[in-house]
A and B are shown apart, each in its own frame.
Chain A
Amino acid sequence: MSDSDTVGRPGAPGLARGPRGGAAPDTAPEAPISTPKGSGGTPTQPPKVITRPGDKIFKALTVGSGVFVVAMIALIGIFLLIQAIPSLADNQANFLFGRDWDADPEGGLAFGVLDLLLVTVFSAVFALIIAMPVSLGIALFLTQYAPRRLARPFAYLVDLLAAVPSIIYGLWGAYVLAPALSPISTWLNENLGFIPLFATGTSNLAIGQTIFTAGIVLAVMLLPIITAISREVFDRTPSMQVEGALALGATKWEVVRTTVLPFGRAGYISASMLGLGRALGETIAVLIILSSTTSHFGFSLFDGGDTIASKIARAAQEFNDPRGAGAYIAAGLVLFVLTFVVNAFARAIIAGHKEYE
């Protein structure tokens, strides 16, 4: 950042320190009123907006970047669609409602995405059902219950959960958690097996490569996401409301129930939706944990199967034939649309609440 021809340099740091409360002793008074050399682009014209070439170029750059990002999301959709169309045209099965996946171009493509979609949504929703109450509790604990001084380090610990790469969650889930959950899932299966959710599925419970295991790992991965946003929203509960409730003699819980929760509800739901989006697209953890199956998905937690993302990743190394790859790209498009809708919905909820700003 060296330059010689403008006023900027000596002035900037001085100015920049202004709002720090003048704490810096080295803020020499001569800094802000720097030496305007006549040549260096310091105009002495009346205060009228003058657009210089630099301004035009810079603005064009920023606008260009903005347009680029907007174009990017459109391009993702368009390119996936373009690559998927030839394979979809060759598809002998119903893409949206077919339940079998055969993307081997030898002997004809016949791929249907329905089973993948069902497993994707089922496992994500299961994860969300576990993660939502827990995250709510954590967010309340961090904002309302934890001692002020400890709230920050505690929040940092929860955020650490988000820093762990998903592949490590996958390894932990498959090699450590799955065997540990085996007695629980066996018990559920033996005693509550009459409920379809706990019915015997396609995956061996002793091995534990089930949607049950995958869902629990996904839930752990969702905790920091849902917690972070909920926490922010809960923190913004107007103190007037809280104090009012306290003044009326409410207990801590009653304060939470009558002020914090109603105020933060929309934000919490939005956070959960964002979490759902994340769970739908999670790839490697699910890939490592879940066993695949040739049977159709039976809506049991003890089924194996593939989510859209894990199916794509499983086949990624064999993407050679463009038509075979096209089938997976078509599935990717479905996942893209699905997460798009979920995320847009989540944002729409928050956007309707000006008080969160």
Chain B
Amino acid sequence: MISKRPVSVLGLVAAGALALTACGSDNNTTPGGNNSAAPAPTAKAPVECGGKKDLVAEGSSAQKGAIEAFVSAYGAKCSGQQLAYTPSGSGAGVKQFNAGIVDIGGSDSPLNKDKGEVDKAAERCKGNPAWNLPLVFGPVGIAYKLDGVTSLTLTPELAAKIFSGAVTKWNDPAVAAANTGATLPDKAITVIYRGDESGTTDNFQKYLKAAGKGAWTKDAGKKFNGGVGQGAQGSAGVADAISAGDGTIGYIEWSYVQDKKLSAAKLDSGSGAVELGAEGAAAAIKSAKVKGSGNDLVLDLDALYASNTAGSYPLVLATYEIVCSKGYDADTAKAVKAFLTVAATDGQSALADAGYVPLPDEFQVKLLDAIKAIA
């Protein structure tokens, strides 16, 4: 039976391959217990586990690490419950949320009324408003690599000049003025920016515009508008490029600075140089104002960026979870509430290790109130 032989061989091998891998599992429970010294918020809230088993969320890649930490805590608290997060970008997150495909949308910017996002979201939530909950805060670092220089301080104005090409040498008098005593080499500055569209770029440019005392003459936006340097794919690409070169500088989320063990510049907003870290960022977040109404916690970032209180590091990226205030089915609502509650309480302790800032206490309270109000 010649014609049967190849088929049976193929079948045999296919069966073998399946047998080999047929025991796959999603179960990765690790012996938990995070003993991080970071200042995690203290409030506790009762978590009502249950509801829909597999939540789906999609959106900003900037909050990917935080969501992973939340999912890990969620699985530990409510065993068998999970959430799949697709870090496909803020735009995708909003669109998928509005289309009712995902339960939670992740976005670097709140829903935009002018683009009709608010109305579409209300429609998705069966006529109820959607809320923007700023659950994840992460400082953005200005990382650099310069042989022989281990400490670098930048003012927002100087950063704006570097990233727009007005300062092109490391030994430029403007850099020297901010770093008295440091020996700066006569090297060209290679700016590395995000080549893809990104909320990080958007926030970074907004920061330069708000705090740069007019030195940033370009627009904000998801595309880098500085006009200098070379682009890299994703924050990872930026981090790779910074560490591969010499005389390089770029902006990346804190977690990437940690991962790649890069040096990050201190920011001097007028009242002394502040290091990149959870403390400085938490101090800055306190000065953030909520401009949304009720439980819709939209932040006024310009005030945050321009803050120059001592010890605060205002270059912070705030990302939102977009959820329905009402209009989920009962199962989904229960799971969404459980997940968000865990995220705002237990999930916070692992955040500093993942490069994010745990919520300040008063913010956590506001968030928990909002989460409780979801029906």
Contact = CB atoms under 8 A, between A and B. Distances in A.
A315 B222 contact: no
Q: DSSP majority for the B interface?
A: loop
Contacts of A319: 92
Interface string A289-333: 001111100000000101000000011011111000000000000
A13 B2 contact: yes
Contacts of B190: 204, 207
Nearest to A288: B233
Contacts, number: 90
A104 B3 contact: no
- Most chain-B CB neighbours within 10 Å: which of A104, A174, A203, A292? A292
A203 B3 contact: no
A317 B3 contact: no
A25 to B, nearest CB: 14
B231 A291 contact: yes
B4 A1 contact: yes
17 contacts: A1-B3, A12-B3, A104-B223, A206-B246, A291-B232, A292-B233, A304-B231, A314-B195, A314-B196, A317-B196, A318-B88, A318-B89, A318-B92, A318-B196, A320-B91, A320-B94, A320-B95
B245 A17 contact: no
A143 interface: no
A3 to B, nearest CB: 12
Given A179-B244, A209-B241, A315 B196 contact: yes
Interface string B205-244: 0000000000000000111111111111100000011001
Given A294-B225, A315-B197, A317-B89, 16 more contacts: A12-B3, A106-B115, A204-B190, A204-B248, A206-B244, A207-B248, A209-B230, A287-B233, A291-B231, A291-B241, A292-B230, A292-B232, A293-B229, A304-B231, A318-B91, A320-B95
Given A1-B4, A13-B2, A204-B230, A291 B195 contact: yes
Contacts of B197: 104, 315, 318
B3 A293 contact: no
B19 interface: no
Contact of A291 (B223, B228, B230): B230
A207 B222 contact: no
Nearest to B197: A318
Given A294-B228, A315-B196, A204 B222 contact: no
Listed from nearest, the 4 A-B pairs whose CB atoms lie closest are A292-B195, A292-B231, A291-B230, A320-B91
A79 B241 CA distance: 38
A111 to B, nearest CB: 12
Contacts of A317: 88-89, 92, 196
B241 A321 contact: no
Contacts of A281: none
Contacts of B1: 13
Nearest to A13: B2
Nearest to B95: A320
Contacts of A315: 196-197
A175 B231 CA distance: 16
